[in-house]
Amino acid sequence: MKIGVIGAGQVGATTAFLLAQKELGDIVLLDIVEGMPQGKGLDMAQAGPVLGYDCQVIGTNDFADIAGAEVVVVTSGLPRKPGMSRMDLLNTNAGIVESVTKEIAKHAPDSFIVMVTNPLDVMCYVALEVSGFGRQRVFGMAGVLDSTRCRCFVAQAVGASVEDVQAMVLGGHGDSMVPLPRYITVGGIPIPQLLDQPTIDAIVERTRKGGTEIVSLLKTGSAYYAPGAAVAQMVESLLRDKKRLVPASAYCTGEYGLNDVYVGVPVVLGRGGMERIVEIELMDEERQALEASAADVKEGIEAWKASRGK
């Protein structure tokens, strides 16, 4: 099998490295900067004998090299800088994603697209429209990342292993995301039985600001280890048909009362791609928060359409 990773920056290179270690297939790392993907690909290939993975990692500047890829991960675009929101990146990154998606549709017409570029939910919509692939084949990484951040914070607060924490974060990948404390458990125990409400509220807020916190600390870039790990988990579920139920940005056609919008919802990922959206019970305030988050995404989608004269 072949996996394409578009964009050889921090997120793309980390994703490629983690995918190689999972031995899910040969990796094609692509970037427009000559020499960078080739150098990083060669470096990763040379790590194989030490880490024990046996797959090819190839760097390239030519989209023709992703031909036959079963999954293409899109990380290309500008990262956030301190003081920037994900939506601030919309116009620049939409143009990049449009161009990249056309190349994917041309060279890997049977692939799944896993979107990572921000603003993620809007970029998923861009890729869906430009590729014509259908919603089962175009989805975004955000919910897995937001949930793993939440799991990390909960584990630290409870003093438990991260392996025993499960969490569900819905909504758009931004400040209006919707962590669901009722669905967060540690060893099967709901966190309201383990933490007081002020601590839970603080974890919810820190989850919403998780990416911003890292951007503020790094000052010259954004997160890449956790995003790369989140993408690798999704790709593994696709190619090994693990049917993981995870939160991901998916195109809604009536689910949760939402239409014509990408937003983070629980989905099942397998060989059929985004095989189905799972609708869970939401309290009125949770549903209202999800609708508000989706409205923020729709605003970005309409801004993109307006920029194209649609």
- Tens of pLDDT, residue by residue over 153-185, are 999 999 999 999 999 999 988 888 999 999 999
- Compute the distance between CA of residue 200 and CA of residue 154 in angstroms, rounded to an integer: 8
| Residues 147 and 293 grouped into a single domain | yes
Strand order in the sheet with 57-60: 57-60, 26-30, 2-6, 71-74, 112-115, 138-140, 244-253, 259-270, 273-277
Is residue 254 over pLDDT 80?
yes
Distance CA 113, CA 178 (A): 24
**The last residue of a domain, from among 98, 117, 142:** 142
φ/ψ bin of 149: left (φ > 0), alpha (ψ from -120 to 50), beta (otherwise) = alpha
Residues 62-86 pLDDT 10s: 999 999 999 999 999 877 677 766 6
Strands 189-190 and 273-277: unpaired
CATH number of the domain residue 24 falls in? 3.40.50.720
- 81 C-beta neighbours (distance < 10 Å), count: 15
Got the DSSP string for 119-155?
SHHHHHHHHHHHH---GGGEEESHHHHHHHHHHHHHH
Indicate the residue among 107, 125, 142 that finishes a domain.
Answer: 142
* 104 plus 135 within the same structural domain: yes
232 in the same domain as 109: no
Residue 187 sits in a domain whose CATH number is 3.90.110.10
Identify whether residues 188 and 275 lie together within a single domain: yes
Residues 28 and 90 in one domain: yes
Q: Are 65 and 41 in contact (CB under 8 A)?
A: no
Residue with tokens 């949760």: 256
pLDDT at 96: 95
How many domains are there within the chain? 2
Judgement on whether residues 137 and 152 belong to the same structural domain of the protein: no
Enter the pTM of the model.
0.95
User: Does residue 261 surpass a pLDDT of 80?
Assistant: yes
Instruction: Indicate if the pLDDT at residue 187 is higher than 80.
Output: yes
What positions carry a catalytic annotation? Answer: 173
Write out pLDDT tens, residues 116-155. 999 999 999 999 999 999 999 999 998 999 999 999 999 9
| Torsion sign, CA atoms 125, 292, 201, 183 | negative
Together in a domain, 65 and 169: no
Tell which of 87, 121, 142 closes a domain. Answer: 142
Return d(Cα 292, Cα 249) in angstroms, integer. Answer: 15
CA 29 to centroid of chain Cα atoms:
17
Cα 163 to Cα 160: distance, rounded to the nearest angstrom: 8
Q: What is the residue range of 164's domain? A: 143-307
